Structure 1
Amino acid sequence: MKKWDVIKRIGRFIGIALGAIIAAYSVQGFIVQAGLGGGGIGGIALLLFYTLGLPIGIVNFVLNIPLFILGWKEVNRIFVIKTFFGIIVYSIALDFFKGIQPLELNDVFLGALYGGVLGGVGSGFVFRLGGSLGGTDIIAKVIQRRFGWAMGTTMLVINALIIIASWAVLGPKMALYTLVSMFTFSKLVDVISSGLPAKSVTIISIQSEQLIQRILQELGRGVTFLHGQGGYSAAEKNVILCVVSISELGHLKRIVREEDPHSFIIVQTASEVVGQGFALE
C-alpha cells in the first residue's frame, strides 16, 4: 500500500472519530439537557437513562452488538470496521460528556434544533467517510445499498416506533420536540453525506455552439450534446445537458437568455453528483 493511501486511511479514521465526538456532544450537551428522546438504538439508550439511570454510552454499545453482526454479514467489511470504530468512540464520548453542558438552554425547541443540527453534522461526516455510528444507521446503510433510498429519510421512518415509545415515557410534548430534532438530524445527514443538491439543466436552442463556448469559459462546466428532433417542425437540433451548482444556476440562465431568448430550458434537481467539479467519494 502506498504511503499516501495509508495517510488517507488514517485521516478517514480521525475524521470518523471527530464526527462521533461531535454527535456524542450533541446528545449530552443539548438533547439530554432538554430532556428529549432520540431515534434508534440511541433513543432506546436515552429512554433507559431517563427511566433506570443506565449510562447512555454503555447501553448504546451493548445494544449495537446484534446490529453490528448484521452489518458484518450484509455490508462490506471496511464499512463494518469503520462502524465498529465509530461505535466505540461514540459510546465512550457519550459517557465522557455526561454533565458537560456549558450552555444553559431554557428553551426545549432550541435544544431540539441545535441537538439535531450538531448530531446531523457529526453523523453526516461519519457517513461521508464510509462509516456509521451504529444503530439504525446500519439498517439504513443496508437499505441504501439494496434500494437506493436516502439514509436520512430511511432513518426517519424507522425511528417512528421509537417516537411512540418516547411519547409514552416522556409525554406528548417532549415526543413532538424529539421529532423536530430527528427531522433536523435526518436533513443534515443527507446534506453532509451526499452534498448539496446540484441542478441538471437541459437546454434546447438553435444557438447551441455559442452557448457551449460561454458555459465552458464563464462557468468552467462540461456539457454534453444530445441529438434531438422537433416534434412539430421535424427539424434536427442539438440538446445541451449540463450540471451546475445551485449558485451557478442564475449565471447559466443569464447566458442562455442573452444568446437565445427563444430557447427552452428544463431545470431538475440532481440529489447527488459524483465527478469532476463535484463531490468525489
Structure 2
Amino acid sequence: MKEESLLEMKKMVRDLPWVLIGNFMLALAVAMFILPYNILSGGVAGIAVALQPVFHIEPTLMVNALVLGMFVLGTLFLGKSFAVKTVISSLVYPVYLTIITPFVPLLQLDPILASLYGGLLAGVGIGLVLRTGASTGGMDIPPLIVNKYTGIKISTLVLITDALTVGLGLFTYGLEAVLIGFISVWGTSFGIDKMLTLGGGNAKAVQIISEAHVQINAAIQSELDRGTTLSDATGGYTGAPRKVILVVVEKKEYPKLLELVNRIDENAFMITSDATDVHGEGFTLEFKV
C-alpha cells in the first residue's frame, strides 16, 4: 500500500509542471485572443463573452466565478477523486488569467484569426492537462456529470456543450459571431487531439503477403531494424495457407520498405494504413507527461 502511495505521489510530482504549463497556455489563449475579440468559444470563457452584454459583468471575473462554481459542482457529483485531480487547475487558472490579462498586448488581428489561434492555443493547453489524467475544470465538468449518470460518450457531450455555449451568443452577437466562434471550437478540438496523440508516433502500419515472406521478414529486420509479427492466414479463393507480415515503420522509412519488398517479390500484396498512435520501443518520443 505504501509503495502504491509513493508511486502515485511521484506521478503527481512529475505531472504538476505540465498541469501548470497547460493552464497557463489556456489562460494566455483566453486573455490574448478570446476575451479581447469577444470570441464565442466553448468553455467558461465563451459563456462569459456571450453573457457580458446581458449582465455587464467583467468577463475575467465571470470566468473565475464559473471555474470555481464548476469545481464545487464537480466535487458534489463526482466525488473526492475528481476534486484531487482538478483542484490545481481550478485554483491556478483563475490566478493566471487575473495576473496576465493586464499585461497581454492587444494584437490587431482579424477576428477569424483570433478565433483560430485562440482555439488552437487553448486546445494545446487543455491537451497537456488531459495527458496527465487531470481535468482543466470549467465546462469540462457538466459533460463528466452527465456521462456518469447516462453513459453517453464524453466527446459527444463536450461537443454538445461547446455548441450550446457558442449558441448563447446568437442572441447577443448575431450569426456571424457564432460562425466565427465555431472556428475556435474546432481549433480547440484539433489542438487537444494532437496533444493527446503526441508521442505516439506518426507511422505506417503495413501488412505484407508474399510467397517470399521468409526473405522479406529477414530483410526488414536486418535493413530497417524493425520488428515484425507473422500471422497465419488462408487464401479466400485458393484455400492455400499464407503468412502475413505486419510491420510498423516511420513515414520516412516507408519508401525504403516499398523498395525492399519490390526487390524481393514484385508481386507481393501490401496493405498500408496510417498509424497515428504508436507506443513502444523505436516509436514513443522522449516527451512524456
The answer to whether the superposition gives a TM-score over 0.5 is: yes
Q: Pick from 258, 262, 268 the counterpart of residue 253 of structure 1.
A: 258
Pairwise CA distance, 1:192 = 0.4
Query: Per-residue displacement from partner, 1:204-258 (whole Å, max 9, x unpaired)?
Result: 1222222223333344432211101212232222101223344443443333233
Q: Show the counterpart of 1:61.
A: 68
Pairwise CA distance, 1:26 = 0.4
2:39·2:46 contact (CA, 8 Å) conserved in 1?
A: no
Q: What is the percent sequence identity of the aligned residues?
A: 30
- SS of 2:207's equivalent? strand
Q: Show the counterpart of 1:217.
A: 222
Q: Show the counterpart of 1:234.
A: 239
Query: Per-residue displacement from partner, 1:114-156 (whole Å, max 9, x unpaired)?
Result: 1011111111111111112113434566859x979684x6533
Seen in structure 2, the aligned counterparts of structure 1 residues 192 and 147 have a Cα distance that, compared at 3 Å, is: farther
Q: Pick from 241, 244, 248 the counterpart of residue 243 of structure 1.
A: 248
Q: Show the counterpart of 1:112.
A: 115
- SS of 1:233's equivalent? coil
Matches within 5 A, 1:199-218: 199-218=204-223
Seen in structure 2, the aligned counterparts of structure 1 residues 139 and 58 have a Cα distance that, compared at 3 Å, is: closer
Matches within 5 A, 1:1-281: 1=3, 6-49=9-52, 51=54, 52-54=56-58, 55=61, 56-72=63-79, 77=81, 80-138=83-141, 151=155, 155-195=158-198, 198-279=203-284
What is the one-letter code of the residue matched to 1:132?
S
User: Greater CA deviation, 110-119 or 91-100?
Assistant: 91-100
| Structure 1 segments unaligned to the other structure (5+ residues) | none
Distance across 1 between alignment mates of 2:111 and 2:164: 22
Pairwise CA distance, 1:8 = 4.6
Distance across 2 between alignment mates of 1:97 and 1:22: 11
Which aligned runs of 4 or more in structure 1 are off by greater than 6 angstroms?
2-5
Distance across 2 between alignment mates of 1:66 and 1:42: 18
Seen in structure 2, the aligned counterparts of structure 1 residues 246 and 180 have a Cα distance that, compared at 3 Å, is: farther
Greater CA radius of gyration, 1 or 2?
2
| Structure 2 segments unaligned to the other structure (5+ residues) | none
What is the one-letter code of the residue matched to 1:11?
R
1:24·1:94 contact (CA, 8 Å) conserved in 2?
A: yes
- SS of 2:36's equivalent? helix
Seen in structure 2, the aligned counterparts of structure 1 residues 40 and 125 have a Cα distance that, compared at 3 Å, is: same
Pairwise CA RMSD of aligned residues? 3.1
User: Greater CA deviation, 156-165 or 178-187?
Assistant: 156-165
Query: Per-residue displacement from partner, 1:44-66 (whole Å, max 9, x unpaired)?
Result: 23334454224122332223421
Seen in structure 2, the aligned counterparts of structure 1 residues 260 and 130 have a Cα distance that, compared at 3 Å, is: same
**What TM-score, normalized to structure 1?**
0.83
Distance across 2 between alignment mates of 1:111 and 1:85: 28
1:20·1:126 contact (CA, 8 Å) conserved in 2?
A: yes
Seen in structure 2, the aligned counterparts of structure 1 residues 277 and 61 have a Cα distance that, compared at 3 Å, is: farther
1:41·1:64 contact (CA, 8 Å) conserved in 2?
A: no
Distance across 1 between alignment mates of 2:89 and 2:240: 58
Pairwise CA distance, 1:94 = 1.9
